[in-house]
Every structure is written in structure tokens, then in C-alpha cells.
């Protein structure tokens, strides 16, 4: 088995380096990263520039099945909330085999698109009637199997979902598959912990949002998680929509992020997913907490959320990463493009996410998103450095848009100029090739099973 790679250009945590040799151990951990190394027969040779694999910090796998199916105006004004009603309807029909087929194809797509690990924010727990499956972990196990089969790294985040709105409003009927008590969540986590460990996955917890988890459930679940694993990642959706901010103000007198920071010890284990609507004080305080901002630019655009103020977050020292969330788009480069473009449009500036220490915007964004994504994942996937996993992407140096350019411009062209076609040649996870020539070996079979599952679902009354 190959345990080393030599590449003319490699994006290391500190920037681009020349003639780099990467060595890793049997577990896929980097044991040496050596710039200025001579190429020899003992190492595989990368045909193009090597960049770190991108952790995808936010995914609801099943939603890949409705991507493209809600792009029409169904009422006087469509919104996040009307989309959510359609999405719930779809979620009510899923069976375990369909979820597994959708997730497997999604993870294959992710690997082909430069994501080497994924944080799965998993909230469809029960059967269609809202009753726990005979094995309560049935749907979580389907996700674990899909990730294992595709060969993508996984952080599994079972979701606590208890109320239909702020102030403990009863959940709606469409939410019946999501709802569980805090005690049953803690039992599920205990059941899943050894299974995750056995496949190198990390287990965390996701209180869905402040509207879906009342303060008591939040407190008890966090205490239970702490007892199970005091360093486990905690993810929460927060301040995505302005209605959510208004409802939180009406309930508590505080904005969601301010409420969270005042009532819960938020720290570097936390990922604040979206965090779109913060005031200046919230930007400062949330960044100072050490939490990662979980940005999902294409989903946030698709759902009409609003625009995250990236310069405010960066100037407060905030960590950030990207996720594909609803999977309206599955492409790590395109999330970076959308994020940068939303900033350019809002500010009428260019290269907003770059700075004097790293003026190449695609390089700066890739490094930041890998670091933040790894922190949110709670896994050693923070880039090409000793002790981190050998998760990397080889760009396709022969792609017309990239050919003949210096490495930083190849990455810039991959992100900004590859016209939505992937300029990726190979993708490696934990030192093993998962996609080659831009293709995952399961591509064809997984795609066919996805199409069949979606057809079944659309024909289910």
C-alpha cells in the first residue's frame, strides 16, 4: 500500500511549498511533511498541485433527495419556511434503505468534489409514524454504513429536537420523526459511541436550534454529553433567519447568539451553524468564544437567509468553515466561491477573504475553511501537517482552465474559473485513494441506486 506521495506543489498550513514529500503510517496519519525533497521511486507522484481535503462541517444527507425539487413559486411569497414544509413532507416518506442510498451517493459526490470528511447533523430518527425503530439507532447506522462504504471521514451529530418553536411550543405533526427526550438521546449516544470509534468516526451532539430545544433539554443534554466525552463537538443552527431572531427576542428579550452565549458555556467545541444574523457585539463575543462559524453559502443563498459578515468575523479572530447543508450544491470550491462573491456583492470590493499575509484569496479561504472545518469535526483533519490525517486533493493540472499556470493560480482557477466542472484529479482520505481521474469507484452504482430511491420516494403518496 502506498504510504508516501511526492508533489511539485503542496498547500501546507503556512502556504504553498515546493517539492514536498508526504509520508503517513498504516492508520493514515501523516508522519513526515518534507519540503524540498527529491522525488524518488519510493513515493507515488502527484500529477498536479496538492491541497488539503475539505471537511464538510454541515450536512443533512437526506435533503440531497429534494435538491432541485423546490425551485418554483408555490404561494404568494416563498421563503425558508415554505421550503421547510416541503422538505418535512419528503422527510416523512424516507425509509432506512432509501436514506442509505441517498447518503452513499451524496458521500461519493462529496469525495469527487473535494470534501474528505463530513459532519452529519442527523435528525430523522424515527419511523414514519414517529415511533422509535425496534433498534433506535437504525437511521444513524444507515449513515455510518454509507460513510464507511464511500470512504469519507465522519462526525456523527445526533440531533436533539423537542419543540416546534421558542418557549417550548409543541412540535408539529410534520416533525414527529425528529422528536425525542433528552434521556433517550443520551441512550442513543451511548449506543453509538463504540460503533463510531470502530470506524474512526467522531460522535458529537447537535441541539437542533434554540427554537427546537428548550433551555432545560439543552442543559441536560450538554451535561450528559460532557460525561460521555468532555471534548465532543457540539453543533447548533443559530440565527439563520430574521424571523428566528424576532421570535427569540419576543421570547427572551435577547437575540439568539447573545442568549446562547449568556446561558451556555460556548467554547471551541462548538459550531454555530449559519450565525447569519448577529449584531456587532455578537460577532465579537461569538468569535472570542472560540466557536467555529459553520457557513453554508449555497444553501443560505438558496433559502434566502441573508449574508454573513465575514470581515467582521475575521477581524474578531473568528474561526470558520463551510458546509453543504441542504446539498443544493455539492462542491467544496463552489462554497468558497459563493462565500467570497456574496461579500463582494454586499461590499463592492474584491478579494475580501484575503489579506496581506495571504493575498491569494482561494488559498486563504481554503486554509481557513480546512482549519475551521477540522475544529468543528473534532477530528485530526486540519491540513497537511504531521499528526493530521493524510486527507488531500490533487488538482487536475491538465484541465484546460488550469494547464500551465503556477500552483496558486491553479487553485484560484479551480475555485473561481472552472465553470462548475470539477478540476479535481484525485482525492485521498487517510492515505487511501478514494477518487481517481475525478471518479469514485462506486460512482455509477451509487448514482443508479440514488435515482431509484428518489423515484420511489416521489411516487410514495
Could you give the residue numbers annotated as active site? 274, 325
Binder of residue 334, out of ligand NGQ, Zn ion, none (CB less than 5 to 8 A by kind)? none
Nearest to 32 by CA among 43, 40, 16: 43
- Which pairing describes strands 54-59 and 115-122: parallel, antiparallel, or unpaired? parallel
Quote the CA–CA distance of 176 and 120 in Å, as a whole number.
20
User: C-alpha distances in angstroms, 155 versus 199, 399, 437?
Assistant: 11, 32, 27
> What ranges make up the beta strands (E) of 106-152?
115-122
The stretch among 38-46, 183-191, 211-219, 318-326 that binds Zn ion (CB under 5 A) is 318-326
Q: Would you say 60 and 121 are in contact if contact means Cβ atoms under 8 Å apart?
A: yes
Burial 187-198 (b: 16+ CB within 10 A, else e): ebbeebeeebee
Quote the CA–CA distance of 131 and 224 in Å, as a whole number.
23
Nearest approach, Cβ of residue 84 and ligand NGQ (Å): 5
Phi then psi for 406, rounded to 5 degrees?
Answer: -65, 155
The residues of the shown chain that bind ligand NGQ, judged by CB under 6 A, are 60, 84, 237, 240, 299, 303, 325
- Of 59 and 117, which CB lies nearer to ligand NGQ in the complex structure? 59
- Of 49 and 373, which CB lies nearer to ligand NGQ in the complex structure? 373
Q: Would you say 239 and 257 are in contact if contact means Cβ atoms under 8 Å apart?
A: yes
- Of 80 and 416, which CB lies nearer to ligand NGQ in the complex structure? 80
C-alpha cell of residue 450:
440514488
Phi then psi for 273, rounded to 5 degrees?
Answer: -80, 125
Nearest approach, Cβ of residue 240 and Zn ion (Å): 8
Nearest approach, Cβ of residue 86 and ligand NGQ (Å): 11
Nearest approach, Cβ of residue 83 and Zn ion (Å): 12
**390 conformational bin, left if phi > 0, alpha if psi -120 to 50, beta if neither:** beta
Residues binding Zn ion: what is the number (CB under 5 A)? 1
- Of 221 and 272, which CB lies nearer to Zn ion in the complex structure? 272
Binder of residue 64, out of Zn ion, ligand NGQ, none (CB less than 5 to 8 A by kind)? none
- Of 60 and 177, which CB lies nearer to ligand NGQ in the complex structure? 60
C-alpha cell of residue 303:
433559502
Interhelix angle for 96-112 vs 443-459, to 10°? 140
Binder of residue 84, out of ligand NGQ, Zn ion, none (CB less than 5 to 8 A by kind)? ligand NGQ
Quote the CA–CA distance of 247 and 260 in Å, as a whole number.
14
Binder of residue 145, out of ligand NGQ, Zn ion, none (CB less than 5 to 8 A by kind)? none
Nearest to 416 by CA among 341, 318, 356: 341
- Of 182 and 389, which CB lies nearer to ligand NGQ in the complex structure? 182
Q: How far apart are the first and last CA of the chain?
A: 49
Binder of residue 239, out of ligand NGQ, Zn ion, none (CB less than 5 to 8 A by kind)? none
Nearest approach, Cβ of residue 352 and ligand NGQ (Å): 24
| DSSP code string of 143-193 | HHHHHHHHT-EEEEEEEE---SBTTTBPPPGGGTTT---HHHHHHHHHHHH
Which of positions 320-379 make contact with Zn ion (CB under 5 A)? Answer: 325
- Which pairing describes strands 424-429 and 432-435: parallel, antiparallel, or unpaired? antiparallel
Helices (H), 127-181: 138-150
Nearest approach, Cβ of residue 60 and Zn ion (Å): 6
- Of 324 and 422, which CB lies nearer to Zn ion in the complex structure? 324
Binder of residue 425, out of Zn ion, ligand NGQ, none (CB less than 5 to 8 A by kind)? none
Which of positions 12-41 make contact with Zn ion (CB under 5 A)? Answer: none
Nearest approach, Cβ of residue 65 and ligand NGQ (Å): 13
Q: Would you say 90 and 457 are in contact if contact means Cβ atoms under 8 Å apart?
A: yes
Interhelix angle for 138-150 vs 182-198, to 10°? 30
Nearest approach, Cβ of residue 9 and ligand NGQ (Å): 37
Quote the CA–CA distance of 176 and 143 in Å, as a whole number.
20
Which of positions 143-202 make contact with Zn ion (CB under 5 A)? Answer: none
- Of 84 and 126, which CB lies nearer to ligand NGQ in the complex structure? 84
Instruction: List residues near Zn ion by CB under 5 A.
Output: 325
Amino acid at each position: 500500500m502506498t504510504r508516501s506521495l511526492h508533489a511539485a506543489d503542496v498547500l501546507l498550513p503556512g502556504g504553498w511549498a515546493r517539492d514536498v514529500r508526504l509520508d503517513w503510517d498504516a492508520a493514515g496519519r501523516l508522519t513526515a511533511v518534507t519540503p524540498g525533497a527529491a522525488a524518488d521511486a519510493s513515493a507515488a507522484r502527484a500529477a498536479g498541485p496538492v491541497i488539503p481535503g475539505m471537511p464538510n462541517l454541515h450536512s443533512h444527507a437526506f435533503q440531497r433527495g429534494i435538491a432541485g425539487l423546490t425551485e418554483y413559486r408555490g404561494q404568494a411569497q416563498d421563503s425558508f419556511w415554505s421550503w421547510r414544509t416541503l422538505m418535512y413532507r419528503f422527510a416523512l416518506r424516507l425509509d432506512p434503505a432509501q436514506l442509505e442510498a441517498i447518503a452513499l451517493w451524496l458521500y461519493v459526490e462529496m469525495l469527487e468534489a473535494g470534501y474528505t470528511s463530513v459532519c452529519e447533523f442527523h435528525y430523522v430518527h424515527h419511523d414514519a409514524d414517529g415511533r422509535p425503530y425496534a433498534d433506535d439507532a437504525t437511521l444513524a447506522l444507515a449513515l455510518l454504513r454509507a460513510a464507511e462504504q464511500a470512504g469519507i471521514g465522519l462526525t456523527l451529530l445526533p440531533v436533539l429536537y423537542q419543540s416546534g418553536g421558542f418557549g417550548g411550543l409543541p412540535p408539529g405533526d410534520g416533525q414527529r420523526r425528529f422528536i425525542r427526550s433528552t434521556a433517550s438521546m443520551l441512550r442513543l449516544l451511548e449506543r453509538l459511541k463504540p460503533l463510531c470509534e470502530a470506524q474512526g468516526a467522531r460522535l458529537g451532539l447537535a441541539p437542533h436550534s434554540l427554537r427546537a430545544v428548550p433551555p432545560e433539554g439543552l442543559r441536560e443534554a450538554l451535561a450528559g454529553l460532557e460525561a460521555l466525552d468532555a471534548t465532543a463537538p457540539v453543533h447548533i443552527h443559530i440565527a439563520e433567519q430574521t424571523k428566528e431572531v424576532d421570535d427569540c427576542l419576543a421570547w427572551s428579550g435577547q437575540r439568539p447568539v447573545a442568549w446562547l452565549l449568556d446561558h451556555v458555556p460556548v467554547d471551541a467545541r462548538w459550531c454555530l451553524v449559519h450565525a447569519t444574523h448577529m449584531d456587532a457585539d455578537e460577532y465579537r463575543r461569538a468569535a472570542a468564544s472560540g466557536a467555529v462559524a459553520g457557513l453554508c453559502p449555497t444553501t443560505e443563498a438558496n433559502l434566502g437567509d441573508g449574508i454573513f459578515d465575514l470581515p467582521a468575523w475575521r477581524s474578531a479572530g473568528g474561526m470558520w468553515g463551510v458546509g453543504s447543508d441542504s446539498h443544493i450544491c455539492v462542491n467544496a470550491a463552489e462554497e468558497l466561491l459563493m462565500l467570497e462573491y456574496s461579500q463582494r456583492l454586499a461590499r463592492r470590493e474584491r478579494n475580501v477573504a484575503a489579506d496581506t499575509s495571504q493575498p491569494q484569496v482561494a488559498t486563504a479561504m481554503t486554509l481557513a475553511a480546512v482549519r475551521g472545518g477540522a475544529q468543528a469535526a473534532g477530528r485530526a483533519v486540519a491540513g497537511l501537517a504531521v499528526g493530521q490525517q493524510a486527507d488531500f486533493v490533487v488538482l487536475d493540472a491538465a484541465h484546460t482552465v488550469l494547464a500551465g499556470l503556477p500552483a496558486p493560480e491553479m487553485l484560484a482557477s479551480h475555485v473561481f474559473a472552472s465553470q462548475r466542472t470539477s478540476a479535481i484529479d484525485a482525492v485521498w482520505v487517510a492515505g487511501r485513494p478514494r477518487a481517481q481521474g475525478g471518479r469514485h469507484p462506486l460512482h455509477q452504482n451509487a448514482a443508479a441506486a440514488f435515482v431509484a430511491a428518489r423515484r420511489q420516494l416521489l411516487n410514495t403518496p
